[in-house]
Structure formats: structure tokens, C-alpha cells
Chain A
Amino acid sequence: MNFLSMRAIRARSGLDTTVGWKILSWIVIALLLLFTLVPLAWMLSTSIKSQVAAMQQPPRWIPEVVTWESYLKILDPRQEGGQRFLRYFWNSLLVSIVTTILSISVTIPAAYAFSRFKFHGRNALLLIILMRNMFPAVIFLIPLFLVMRTAGLVDRHASLIVTYMTFGLPLSIWLLKGYYDNIPRDLEEAAQVDGATQFGAFLRVTLPLSAPGIVAAAIYIFIQAWNEYLYALTFLNSDRLLTLPVGLQAYFSEFVTDWPGLMASSFIMSIPVVILFLILQRFFVRALTEGALKS
């Protein structure tokens, strides 16, 4: 970071970088780090203990004997327990990926239309779509369950995929619309003068330029689908179909005291979203703040 941008940040901050404020900032950060990291670190620490060592008091952060037993148990495809856990993992992956692909293919044309065309009811429609985020998930639970039952979709992944699509749609439409708003129309028109159809111009000019927005929306949709619990709990019954969040409950209700196993599973469940998020954090943070703040 060069000197100029450092100055810009400092000027923007509203707080001086005087020593006192700096010390105060570090105190705030240290306390929050402690609060944030202790549970996460304890999850990891417990996951590499034996069941007996996990119940030792006073607590020990680093076990005398490190054991990978819990990870082997849930990840070994040769064992019954491993097969079950891996199947939940696969179900989560399948549902999340299909949801993401379908949502994005629906989002792109909608966002494009909202950005490029003036039409009757445009603002009202946009508002209605955005309002979706305001409605409690619980409200849709009962009618959706009954609808899915009538449609024969209960206990199928399709019911989750359709539901999860609506979770991500509002924010992704909003976000991508913002991207399209910023891409000058002239670029598309130039491509059309060169003989491309409007669709061709969109494909070759606008789509690549909005790639960061699409990536951000995709991550957002994926994480939401991966983490969702309530609908998965309600819609799925068969053990072989469960996604990870509900699968864990089924898996461990039989062994309530297996805290190392539960912590290892929680850790494995968190890995995909945390990695995705860390790699593409910039897009993601921007997506969220723009979705809710900018117009």
C-alpha cells in the first residue's frame, strides 16, 4: 500500500491515528479476537482429543495425546459411519451447487432487464423482490411444506433447491443490477454496430465485465444453501437424503457424549464455506454492503 492511499484511509477514518486511539483500537481488537477465536479454537482442540480427554477438568487446550480418531471415523468411506457422513456432505454439496447454478441463470437475465429496460411496474417489481429478504423464513415453512407435499416433492432435494433459490435471488438481482448499471451501454452498442446481435453483445461484452458480481452472488447463494437448517429439517425425512446441518443431528443423537466427533464434524462442515469466503472475501463483502446499502 503506498503512502497516498494510506493517507486517504487515515483521512477517511474519522478517528485520528494518534497513539491513544491506536492503543484503544488494539484493545478493542484484542478483546474481540479473544471472543471470536476461543470457541473456534476450542472446537479444533476438542476434535483432536479422545472422548475421555475431552471431559477432563480443568480444561486443557493441547491434549496429551493427539488423536485423529474422530476425523477417521467420519471420513473413512470403508466404515459405516464414514459412509453416512460423506453422504450428508455429498448431499449438501449437490443441493448447494445445483441451487447456485439455477439461481445464477435466473438472476442474470432479470438483473439485466432491471438495469437496461424501462417498463411498467419496474420499480414495484424490484421492491417486491427485495422485500423477500424481509419475510421470516418461518412464515413460508407451513405453506411450502403443504405445497411440496401436494407436489410430491417432500423428502426430495428439489424442494430444498427451489426454496433456497428464493433466498439468494433478491440480493443477487440487486447486486448484478448494480454491475450492469455501471457498464456503459455504448460498449454493447459498439458491438452491435460491428454486427453482433444484442444477445451476442451481451454475451461478449457485458457478461465478462460483470463476472465479479456473478462470482459474489454465486458465493452468497452457495453459503446460504450450505448452511440452511430449518427447511432441511422440515422437508427431508430419509436419512440417505439429509444435508449436513440436519445430518449431524441424526448422526450424533445416538452418541450424545461424543463431543470430539461432533466438533470434528462441525469443523469439516465449516471448511468449504470458510475457504470459499476467505478466497473471495472482497467480492463477498462488497456484495453484501452494496446489496443493502447502495442503490
Chain B
Amino acid sequence: MTASTPLTQRKAPSIPFLHRALQSHSFMAYLYILPSLVVLSFVVAYPIFYTILLGFYSTPAISPDRYWVGLSNYIDLLRSRTFWETTQNTLYWTIPSTIGAFLLGVPAALALNQPLLGRSLLRSIFLIPWVISTVAAAYVWRWLYHSDFGLLNGYLMAWGIIQRPLLFLDSTNLVIPSLVIVNVWKTFPFVMVMTLAGLQAVPSELLEAASIDGAGTVRRFFAITLPYLRNVFLITFLLLFISNLEHFTIPWLMTGGGPARASQIWAIDIYTTAFRGLEFGLASAYSTLVFAIVLLFATVYVRLLTRREGVEA
């Protein structure tokens, strides 16, 4: 293999330039990274560029032609009432979903961080909703929520809590809270795992020292554990928040955005604009807008990551 470059020196080949190129670590590094970059640029870089470009075009469904329309897709979008209603729904879906996952995931991690019997079995069980397919989760919950034969309505009626079945997925008031519960079920394990990992970084000496100084459990948690968890929480929150902002599958399979667009969120709107309405230009502008919003959060995420790296390096 000519490309092999031992870290110890070798006798120079006859062509100095080629030798230098092959010996240089940069060259080797680029060579090794190349396959990843090819895949990523084909499937990531080019599509981003293409979406942004297409957002400035009108693409009539009936013909393959496209026409430059400047910012008019954006103006149409920002002027339409449905866009703002969808945005409202998206926030109504994203914020409670993210907070809910924390409200369950953090206590789960704190409980499982103690030496309990069957700890690792419990952790495995809690993680099942998170590993199984979102499609399976959506179907199971649709069945649980079923207005005539669902488990939830069955019990609520049998116990006499309600007289008539609740329309979990068919009432404009209940639909988003019902979907949020499914999402929390699916994502709280993620918060749990991340928090558990964060807890391992809390130095035990500090906790012991505080304990000797007479700090109680609650005091130690707020004074020592919580500050250590801050970064983990921030990163987990952002990751989850962003993935909820762009979420598609749960509402799509459970309600299709209904009833009366009450659970229509960004991703569903973009999908239907593009693949039902065949307005690829408008949908691209829509994507770009969402992309810009996500990018804002992503910048924060990267800042946090690099700041951590800076501290540790």
C-alpha cells in the first residue's frame, strides 16, 4: 500500500512531491473523511441549497416549469392566517411536549440513580417506548384513545367519571393535549438517559463534603447536583425542542392534522403543501423559514458544545 504512512520515518521515494503529499497527514485525513463528506454533501448540503433556491420560485403543479417570483412565496406565507394558526399549534405542541418529557424524565433519572433493586431492568423498561417505532406508538395510542372501544374511555365510563366518551382525537380542544401525552410517553426516556449520564459527572467528594458540613439532601441537590446538570439540561432541552418543532409522525398518523386543522403543525403543513398540493416552491419557502428558526436554536446548541469543549481542553 503506497498510501500507508507510518508515524516513524521511512525512506523517501523517488518523487518528492508525491511523497510529501502521501506522507502529509492532511492528505490522508481528507482521504479518510471523503466518503462521509460525499454522502453528507449529496444528502445535506445540496438539498439545503436547493430548498433555499426553490423557495424563490413558483412551481405550478401542472407543468415542469418554474418561475422566479422573488419573495412572494414568503409574503404569501406570512400573510396567510393558516400559517399563523399552524405556528400557534406547533408551539402548543412543542413547548408542553418538551416540558412534559422533563417533568417525567428528570424524576425518573433521580430515582434510578439510587441503588435500587432491579435498577438496570427498570431502566430498560422505561427505554422501550423510546426505541420502538413512532408508528407503533401512534397506532397503540390511537387504539387507547378510541372513542367507542378505547381503554381510556372504557375505564373512565366504567368508573363513572364521565357519562359520555371523551373525543380525545376528535375534539379541537382535546386533540393537542392528547397528542402531547403520546409524545411525552415516547420521549421522556431520552431525558432520563441524558440526566442519568449527567448525574455520573457530579463529583461524589463534593457531595460527601457538603454532607459532612450538614447540608441536607434537598440543599445538596440544589447547591451541587443541579449546577452540574445545567449543561446537560440545556443541551437535552434544545435537542428535544428542535425535534419536537419539526415533528411529523405522531399527529400525521393519529389525526392527519385534524379535526379542522386543530393539530396541523409545521411539518404536516409542509408535507401536504408539497406532496398533496404539489406546490414545491411554496413548500420550500416554508421549509426555509422553519430551517432559519431551527438554525437559531442550533447555533445555541453548538455554542454550548464548543464552550464545553473549550473548558475541557
Q: How far is the CB of A147 from chain B (nearest CB, A)?
A: 7
* Cross-interface CB contact of B39 among A127, A166, A199, A267, cutoff 8 Å: A166
B305 within 8 A of A: yes
A238 within 8 A of B: no
Task: Tell whether, in the assembled complex, residue A39 and residue B141 are in contact, meaning their CB atoms are under 8 Å apart.
Answer: yes
Q: How far is the CB of A289 from chain B (nearest CB, A)?
A: 3
CA–CA, A144 and B305, complex, Å = 29
Q: How far is the CB of A204 from chain B (nearest CB, A)?
A: 13
CA–CA, A25 and B107, complex, Å = 8
B204 within 8 A of A: yes
B14 within 8 A of A: no
Closest to A102 in B: B39
CA–CA, A162 and B99, complex, Å = 34
Which residues of B, 270-301, contact A by the 8 Å Cβ criterion? Answer: 270-271, 274-275, 280, 283-284, 287-288, 290-291, 294-295, 297-298, 301
Q: How far is the CB of A280 from chain B (nearest CB, A)?
A: 11
A216 within 8 A of B: no
Task: Tell whether, in the assembled complex, residue B135 and residue A138 are in contact, meaning their CB atoms are under 8 Å apart.
Answer: no
* Cross-interface CB contact of B43 among A136, A142, A165, A197, cutoff 8 Å: A165
Chain B contacts of A135 at CB under 8 A?
44, 48, 291, 294, 298
CA–CA, A21 and B50, complex, Å = 55
* Cross-interface CB contact of B246 among A118, A136, A292, cutoff 8 Å: A136
Task: Tell whether, in the assembled complex, residue B235 and residue A118 are in contact, meaning their CB atoms are under 8 Å apart.
Answer: no
Task: Tell whether, in the assembled complex, residue B111 and residue A25 are in contact, meaning their CB atoms are under 8 Å apart.
Answer: yes
* Cross-interface CB contact of B280 among A106, A146, A248, cutoff 8 Å: A146
Q: A14-B224, A28-B108, A263-B143 are in contact. Are A245 and B135 (CB under 8 A)?
A: yes
Chain A contacts of B163 at CB under 8 A?
none
Q: A58-B155, A142-B283 are in contact. Are A288 and B193 (CB under 8 A)?
A: yes
B167 within 8 A of A: no
CA–CA, A267 and B246, complex, Å = 26
CA–CA, A125 and B258, complex, Å = 42
Task: Tell whether, in the assembled complex, residue A118 and residue B40 are in contact, meaning their CB atoms are under 8 Å apart.
Answer: no
Interface string of A1-34 (1 = CB under 8 A from B): 1000010111111111110011011101100110
Q: Of the 9-residue stretches A62-70, A71-79, A207-215, A227-235, which lies at the interface with chain B?
A: A227-235
* Cross-interface CB contact of B32 among A110, A140, A144, A267, cutoff 8 Å: A110
Task: Tell whether, in the assembled complex, residue A173 and residue B113 are in contact, meaning their CB atoms are under 8 Å apart.
Answer: no
Task: Tell whether, in the assembled complex, residue A198 and residue B207 are in contact, meaning their CB atoms are under 8 Å apart.
Answer: no
Closest to A170 in B: B40
Chain B contacts of A234 at CB under 8 A?
271, 275
Which residues of B, 99-125, contact A by the 8 Å Cβ criterion? Answer: 104, 107-108, 110-116, 120, 122-125
Task: Tell whether, in the assembled complex, residue B135 and residue A269 are in contact, meaning their CB atoms are under 8 Å apart.
Answer: yes
B126 within 8 A of A: yes
Task: Tell whether, in the assembled complex, residue A57 and residue B29 are in contact, meaning their CB atoms are under 8 Å apart.
Answer: no
Q: How far is the CB of B288 from chain A (nearest CB, A)?
A: 8
B175 within 8 A of A: no
Task: Tell whether, in the assembled complex, residue B294 and residue A140 are in contact, meaning their CB atoms are under 8 Å apart.
Answer: no
B253 within 8 A of A: yes
B164 within 8 A of A: no
Which residues of A, 95-151, contact B by the 8 Å Cβ criterion? Answer: 105-107, 109-110, 112-114, 116-120, 122, 125, 127-147
* Cross-interface CB contact of A139 among B5, B33, B51, B139, cutoff 8 Å: B51
B17 within 8 A of A: no
Q: A113-B33, A295-B308 are in contact. Are A162 and B140 (CB under 8 A)?
A: no
Residue picked from B221, B242, B280, B287, most chain A C-beta under 10 Å = B287
B254 within 8 A of A: no
Closest to B288 in A: A139
Closest to A45 in B: B151
Residue picked from A105, A146, A226, most chain B C-beta under 10 Å = A146
Q: A32-B108, A58-B157 are in contact. Are A229 and B124 (CB under 8 A)?
A: no
Chain A contacts of B274 at CB under 8 A?
141-142, 145
Chain A contacts of B120 at CB under 8 A?
281
Chain A contacts of B129 at CB under 8 A?
36, 39-40
Task: Tell whether, in the assembled complex, residue A106 and residue B36 are in contact, meaning their CB atoms are under 8 Å apart.
Answer: yes
Chain B contacts of A59 at CB under 8 A?
151, 154-155, 158
Chain A contacts of B54 at CB under 8 A?
142-143, 146
Chain B contacts of A57 at CB under 8 A?
148-149, 154, 157-158
Task: Tell whether, in the assembled complex, residue A143 and residue B47 are in contact, meaning their CB atoms are under 8 Å apart.
Answer: yes
Closest to B4 in A: A197
Q: Nearest 10 A-B pairs (CB), nearest first? A: A136-B246, A289-B197, A113-B32, A143-B47, A134-B298, A109-B32, A14-B225, A117-B29, A25-B111, A266-B136
5 extra A-B contacts, CB within 8 A, seeds A28-B107, A32-B108: A14-B110, A43-B140, A141-B274, A189-B7, A293-B232
29 A–B contacts from the bound complex (CB under 8 Å): A6-B115, A11-B204, A14-B225, A21-B217, A25-B111, A32-B104, A32-B108, A40-B129, A42-B140, A43-B140, A43-B143, A106-B35, A113-B28, A116-B25, A119-B26, A136-B245, A139-B294, A166-B43, A185-B7, A189-B8, A199-B1, A199-B3, A227-B133, A248-B135, A259-B146, A266-B133, A266-B139, A269-B132, A295-B305
